[in-house]
Chains A and B, each alone.
Chain A
Amino acid sequence: MRRYFGRKLLIYIFTFALAVTIDWLIPRFMPGNPIQILISRAALKAESAQLLYSYYMKAFGLNVPIWQQYLNFWKALFHGDFGVSIWLFPQPVLKIIVRALPYDVLLLLPSILASWFAGNKFGAYAARSKWLDSTISPIGYILTATPYMWLGMVLAWFFGIKLHLLPFSGAYSYAIMPSLSWTFVGSLLKHWILPFASLFLVMFGGWAIGMRNMIIYELEADYSHYLEALGAPRKLVRNYAFHNAILPQITGLALQLGAIVGGALVTEIVFSYPGIGYLILQAIQNHDYFLLQGCFLFIIIGVLLANFAIDIIYVLVDPRTRTGMQGEG
């Protein structure tokens, strides 16, 4: 088990280092100079622009050698210093992101867990049962092929505009202030339904299909045939198959997180939901590169933490990893 976690930890550390390096590298080696863009937006005279340029270079620490910049970047990171936002100028990037974080948790955690559980249940039922399979499987394939933002748009248009049932913009009504009152919580929930539903549906399709296919593989495995030959009840065989099929689904959850994050970003954009995805859009439109970098790092940290949690769950579920035999990668 120690070996298992040791390997995992090593991968996480490498991943984090690589992500930070990418985050540092991209702004510095891409064509186009962010600071130049910043200054040209201010439309100043040549001399004052020059002055401002050197000021910014110093302020952002770009006037020291490259390797020093890299070290400084890491140092600042461990001090929780993500720089200052350009879009919402004197506010630090960290503060802006932390403010957006609760909305991401509110949206992502329930939708990921609910779709995973529901998808696995339905997928397992669908495997090798004629009429369920012929309804769930096509729906699953359509859902998993749907672009997140398009499903969000269709839901917003249908339930928000055609039927006037649900709000489709923001996280709570613009008419009220965030507070711990029933009206606020109610408004929060109402605004949460549509983005949740569109994330849930797309993910559900993928899990259901994955589970269906895994169960079919397991039911074709020798142990299933052996159990059947012994005359074990159908339910028992399927139970064993489910236990074996759930393991790749757990691994799949860890591997899919990156893609899910991408889907959540565009869903938030469609619904103007004030999470990190919405921040990223603002950062891009306002050329706020520090905010963009900060969001990327936060997403990486979130994905790694989630991966770690999944690893722990995996050990609890799969006895092979505990006894030192190697289970799944």
Chain B
Amino acid sequence: MLYFMLRNAKLRIGVAVVLIFVVLALVGPLLTKYQPRDYVSPGVQPPSSEFWFGTTSFGEDVFTQFVYGLRSTFIIGIIGGGIGTLIGIFIGFISGYRGGIVDEILNMFTNIVLVIPSLVVLLIIAAYLEVRGFLFESLFIGFFAWPWAARAVRAQTFSLRSRDFVDLARMSGMKPLKIIIKEIAPNMMSYLLLVYILQFGGAVLTAATLDFIGLGPTNGISLGLMMNYAVIHGALILGMWWWFIPPGLAITAIVGALYVTNVGLDEVFNPKLREM
């Protein structure tokens, strides 16, 4: 397994890119002596040796905002993606294992939540809140992102449910919950990891969109908020590319690398997909 992992180019590239940004998020704030909202110089400075990514219209250091923004991006991904995955796993296991009427109802519920444009619901909720935090944002994103995970887990549980070892466990009188945890879950751990990676990427994109509309956290900085400020304060017209290019590029790179990692892992776990 480890051999295939190291040999898989997609996995290597994906993990490397994500790791670069993780390190940047961890170490970056130590490299800068400013805070994200500090006034450090006259505004609208292009990148220079002193201000690596230039400054905003208000004389804030873009690099400082960028590295702090990276942190919140990862936090949102970890928590938001985590909640989405957990709810999805829970519902997917129950509906996949139980089958019958329980499955019908849960599946219908999943489809309904899937059809409703979650971003618009999040928008309305956020619009009514005067004060919003990162934790809160990731919670809500998770609450609306689970249907994808639930569908995937349900399908996988279905295919495992009628295997011999599960039948054996059932015959030996194991409780359903224990069968799910002890027999079914370990057999799809790799699959759950893939689901989590996708949920992570989705949560990052959703958060960026919300922040961009101006409904992001009211405290702190994020990559989406940077783009929001850039557009509101005319970075496009003033040609201040250093203000809006880095945050979007970072999101694209992180999410893209996650997707590529996902495919790489899929190939490692599932030999049929490997390149010939």
Q: Does A299 contact B (CB under 8 A)?
A: yes
Is A153 in contact with B120, judged by CB distance below 8 angstroms? no
- The DSSP consensus for interface residues of chain B is helix
> A147–B203 Cα gap in the complex (Å)?
12
Given A145-B251, A150-B249, output 17 extra A-B contacts at Cβ < 8 Å: A19-B116, A145-B253, A147-B251, A149-B231, A150-B208, A150-B247, A150-B252, A154-B245, A209-B259, A258-B114, A261-B117, A261-B120, A284-B214, A289-B127, A292-B124, A296-B120, A300-B116
CB contacts (< 8 Å) of B115 on chain A: these are 11, 15, 254-255, 257-258, 303-304, 307
Q: Does B129 contact A (CB under 8 A)?
A: yes
**A–B Cβ pairs within 8 angstroms, 13 of them:** A34-B128, A145-B251, A147-B252, A153-B227, A255-B114, A258-B117, A258-B119, A262-B117, A262-B120, A284-B123, A292-B123, A300-B116, A329-B107
Is A30 in contact with B129, judged by CB distance below 8 angstroms? yes
The residue on A at minimum CB distance from B122 is A262
Which residues of B (198-219) have their CB < 8 Å from a CB of A?
201, 205-206, 208-209, 212-215
Which residues of A (8-31) have their CB < 8 Å from a CB of B?
10-11, 14-15, 18-19, 22-23, 26-27, 30-31
The residue on B at minimum CB distance from A287 is B127
Q: Does B100 contact A (CB under 8 A)?
A: no
| Interface residue from B108, B120, B129, B259 paired with A31 (Cβ < 8 Å) | B129
List the one stretch of A110-118, A177-185, A265-273 in contact with chain B: A265-273
> A60–B119 Cα gap in the complex (Å)?
26
CB contacts (< 8 Å) of B206 on chain A: these are 262
Q: Does A173 contact B (CB under 8 A)?
A: no
Is B125 in contact with A150, judged by CB distance below 8 angstroms? no
Q: When A and B form their complex, which 4 residue pairs have the shortest distance between CB atoms, in order from nearest?
A: A150-B248, A262-B119, A145-B256, A145-B255
> A312–B215 Cα gap in the complex (Å)?
37
Is B248 in contact with A216, judged by CB distance below 8 angstroms? no
Given contacts A31-B129, A153-B231, A154-B245, is CB(A299)–CB(B120) below 8 Å?
Answer: yes
CB contacts (< 8 Å) of A280 on chain B: these are 120, 123, 213
CB contacts (< 8 Å) of B205 on chain A: these are 145, 147
CB contacts (< 8 Å) of A289 on chain B: these are 127-128
Q: Does B272 contact A (CB under 8 A)?
A: yes
Q: Does A200 contact B (CB under 8 A)?
A: no
Q: Does B118 contact A (CB under 8 A)?
A: yes
CB contacts (< 8 Å) of B224 on chain A: these are 147
CB contacts (< 8 Å) of A168 on chain B: these are 236
- The DSSP consensus for interface residues of chain A is helix
- Scoring B107, B108, B215 by chain A CB atoms within 10 A of each residue's CB, the highest score goes to B108
> A11–B254 Cα gap in the complex (Å)?
36
Is B236 in contact with A161, judged by CB distance below 8 angstroms? yes
> A261–B214 Cα gap in the complex (Å)?
18
Interface 1/0 per residue, A211-238 and B, CB below 8 Å: 0010010001000000000000000000
Q: Does A142 contact B (CB under 8 A)?
A: yes
> A122–B54 Cα gap in the complex (Å)?
39
The residue on A at minimum CB distance from B258 is A145
Is A147 in contact with B212, judged by CB distance below 8 angstroms? yes
Interface 1/0 per residue, B228-264 and A, CB below 8 Å: 0011000011010100110111011111101110010
CB contacts (< 8 Å) of B130 on chain A: these are 31-32
| Interface residue from A19, A149, A255 paired with B209 (Cβ < 8 Å) | A149
Is A14 in contact with B108, judged by CB distance below 8 angstroms? yes
- Scoring B123, B258, B273 by chain A CB atoms within 10 A of each residue's CB, the highest score goes to B123
The residue on B at minimum CB distance from A148 is B209
> A254–B116 Cα gap in the complex (Å)?
11
| Interface residue from B114, B116, B227, B256 paired with A150 (Cβ < 8 Å) | B227
Is B236 in contact with A150, judged by CB distance below 8 angstroms? no
The residue on B at minimum CB distance from A280 is B123
Q: Does B112 contact A (CB under 8 A)?
A: yes
Is B252 in contact with A299, judged by CB distance below 8 angstroms? no
> A168–B256 Cα gap in the complex (Å)?
27
Is A144 in contact with B259, judged by CB distance below 8 angstroms? yes
Q: Does A97 contact B (CB under 8 A)?
A: no
CB contacts (< 8 Å) of B209 on chain A: these are 147-149, 262-263, 265-266
> A14–B116 Cα gap in the complex (Å)?
11
Q: Does B111 contact A (CB under 8 A)?
A: yes
Q: Does B121 contact A (CB under 8 A)?
A: yes
Q: Does A70 contact B (CB under 8 A)?
A: no
